[in-house]
Amino acid sequence: MRNIFSCLIIALTFFSFNANSVTLRAVMENVPDTKFIQELLPEFTEKTGIEVEFEVMGYGEMHPKLVPSLTASTGSYDFMPVDFYWVGEFDKAGWMMPLDDMIAKDGFDTSVYFNSLMELTGKVGDTTYMLPFYNYAMGLTVRKDLIENASNQAEFKSKYGMELKIPTEWDEYLKQVEFFTDKDNGFYGVVNQGGKADPIAMEWSNYLFARGGAFHDQNWNGLLNSSNAVDALNDYISMINNYGPIGAESFSFDEAFNVAAQGNAYSYLTYNWFLGSYNDPEQSSVVDKMALIPVPGEGGLNGAWGWSIPKSSPNPEAAWEFLKWVESPDIAKRRAEMGGAATRKDVFDDPALNAKFDHYPGLKNLLATSKNFPVFTYTPQFVEVMGTELSKAVIGEQDAKTALMNMNNQLEELAAKDGKR
């Protein structure tokens, strides 16, 4: 009996040390782009013999999961997607491995990426730390079927004295929201993702930009106490309280999406890749009814993720193999074909894809006009601050001016802490 037992132990130990199969592990967000890659993973394993395991989770869980692994000398994850606003922090802490040598050695072409995206999640200064993975510039999704409806057009014109069309100005959009709200019948002009920290901070940034506001100047002096910002926040408060469904103050992007996808809202400001989900009959009842347009006014919020290899990666060479494969022209195109949000110019210029997706030109335009969130070491912390102050304003615990003043002060404090001013 004892001999059998010891044999078993030895056998198990041997198998666990089997050096032939490497398994790459990564934390990935629970979004369509991850699913598209997951479908293609078997091809990678067949080609290279390397297994890949994704730990898929919601956005909020990723940063807390990554940080302990990054601070260890050998972490749990071999490669990672980096959200643009962790870039400052990860760079300062020195957690990312520079990729320039590997890029040069294998002749990987990084000129295919949009410049703005390389600036956001590609290079920091002169060093390349990431390959842009997917973009999530935010845009406005509106019910084009309601806009094209003749009786709506007539009514709108008589009420407001202007044409009902795809909105290009912010005021125009506000009027449309008011027009379409019919709370008694459970239909809302807008659904907001007012949930704390990330959702509300990201969504409101669009309102700020739409009104022509900005976060800070080149010297990192805060600009959040401007009248534009106050108007933008008052807009937001009014949207949630007057024209949106109850509970929007705590919605995540999924929950808000569901309200729109079930046909209960005219508009929803969100990440551009949601368009695919709107047109998926399993998730939505407004297939082909939603249009994706740039945020009316002076621009919306840009966003992207980049692929990076942590310095604490257990298998950096195998990780680089994966990066090369997932960002190869062929795989990138197939991901885009499935509905992925591409970061490469060659994808957007591809005729086949343009034939399939008629929103591509609009999306290209959107990427061109989007603006960036403040990127520095304490970006996540600042997102938290925004989340709290904005949330308090929305529920009426403080007025817009106070909220913005608090945000402004804390932005300047954090910037000073980071040595920016």
Partner 1 sequence: MNKIQFYDRRFGYLFVSPAVLILSIVILAPIVLAIITSFYDYTLINRSFENFIGLKNYFASVSNEKFIHSSIVTIFFVLLVVLFEFLIGFLIAILLNQVEKFRNIYYFILLIPLLINPVVVGLIWRMFLHPQLGILNYLIGLIGIDPVNWLGDPQNAFITIIFVDIWHQVSFMIILLLAGLASIPEEPYEAARVDGANMFEQFRDITLPYMRPVIIITLLIRLIFALKTYDLIYIMTKGGPGDATDIISYYIYRSAFIGLDLGQAASMSVILLLIVCVIIYPLFKFMNRADE
* Span near partner 1 by CB under 8 A; candidates 214-222, 245-253, 334-342, 405-413: 245-253
Q: How far is the CB of 271 from partner 1 (least distance, A)?
A: 19
Asked if 248 touches partner 1 (CB under 8 A), the answer is yes
Sign of torsion, CA 346 352 355 357? negative
* Span near partner 1 by CB under 8 A; candidates 28-36, 112-120, 144-152, 190-198: 190-198
Q: How far is the CB of 177 from partner 1 (least distance, A)?
A: 17
Asked if 289 touches partner 1 (CB under 8 A), the answer is no
Q: Distance (Å, rounded) from C-alpha 37 to C-alpha 136?
A: 16
Asked if 346 touches partner 1 (CB under 8 A), the answer is no
Asked if 264 touches partner 1 (CB under 8 A), the answer is yes
Asked if 401 touches partner 1 (CB under 8 A), the answer is no
Q: In sequence order, what are the beta bridge partners of 265? A: 188
Q: How far is the CB of 36 from partner 1 (least distance, A)?
A: 24
**Which residue among 176, 270, 377, 410 contacts partner 1 (CB under 8 A)?**
377
Q: Distance (Å, rounded) from C-alpha 417 to C-alpha 320?
A: 34
* Span near partner 1 by CB under 8 A; candidates 127-135, 218-226, 250-258, 275-283: 250-258
Count residues binding partner 1 (CB under 8 A).
Answer: 37
* Span near partner 1 by CB under 8 A; candidates 161-169, 188-196, 319-327, 341-349: 188-196
- The H or E element spanning position 45 is helix 32-48
Q: How far is the CB of 246 from partner 1 (least distance, A)?
A: 4
Asked if 250 touches partner 1 (CB under 8 A), the answer is yes
Q: Distance (Å, rounded) from C-alpha 275 to C-alpha 272?
A: 6
**Which residue among 56, 212, 214, 247 contacts partner 1 (CB under 8 A)?**
247
DSSP state of 96: B
CA 371 to chain CA centroid, nearest Å: 13
Q: Distance (Å, rounded) from C-alpha 140 to C-alpha 269?
A: 4
Q: In sequence order, what are the beta bridge partners of 55? A: 27
Helix (H, G, I), strand (E, B) or coil at 108: coil
Asked if 124 touches partner 1 (CB under 8 A), the answer is no
For the chain, the residue count is 421
Please give the residues from 29 up to 58 whose contact with partner 1 meets the rule CB under 8 A: none
**Which residue among 63, 144, 289, 334 contacts partner 1 (CB under 8 A)?**
63
Between 127 and 262, name the residue whose CB sits nearer to partner 1: 262
Of 98, 111, 148, 81, nearest in space to 329 by CA: 111
Between 89 and 298, name the residue whose CB sits nearer to partner 1: 89
Structural contact between residues 310 and 77, judged by C-beta atoms closer than 8 angstroms: yes
Q: Distance (Å, rounded) from C-alpha 297 to C-alpha 204?
A: 14
Asked if 92 touches partner 1 (CB under 8 A), the answer is yes
**Which residue among 97, 394, 407, 415 contacts partner 1 (CB under 8 A)?**
394
Residue 203, C-beta contacts closer than 8 angstroms, at least 6 positions apart: 138, 192, 193, 194, 236, 269, 270
Asked if 82 touches partner 1 (CB under 8 A), the answer is no
* Span near partner 1 by CB under 8 A; candidates 166-174, 210-218, 281-289, 375-383: 375-383
DSSP state of 297: T
**Which residue among 197, 233, 304, 326 contacts partner 1 (CB under 8 A)?**
197
CB atoms within 10 A of CB 194: 27
Residue 118, C-beta contacts closer than 8 angstroms, at least 6 positions apart: 110, 132
Alpha helices (H) along 49-184: 59-71, 87-93, 100-106, 115-121, 144-148, 150-160, 170-180
* Span near partner 1 by CB under 8 A; candidates 169-177, 254-262, 278-286, 301-309: 254-262
Helix (H, G, I), strand (E, B) or coil at 145: helix
Asked if 255 touches partner 1 (CB under 8 A), the answer is yes
Q: How far is the CB of 195 from partner 1 (least distance, A)?
A: 7
- In Å, how far are 28, 114, 136, 307 from 133, measured between CA atoms? 11, 12, 10, 6
**Which residue among 9, 64, 217, 352 contacts partner 1 (CB under 8 A)?**
64
Phi, psi angle pair for 141, to nearest 5°: -105, 130
Residues that bind partner 1 (CB under 8 A): 60, 63-64, 67, 71, 89, 92-93, 186, 194-197, 245-251, 255, 258-259, 262, 264, 377-378, 380-381, 384, 387-388, 391-392, 394-395, 397
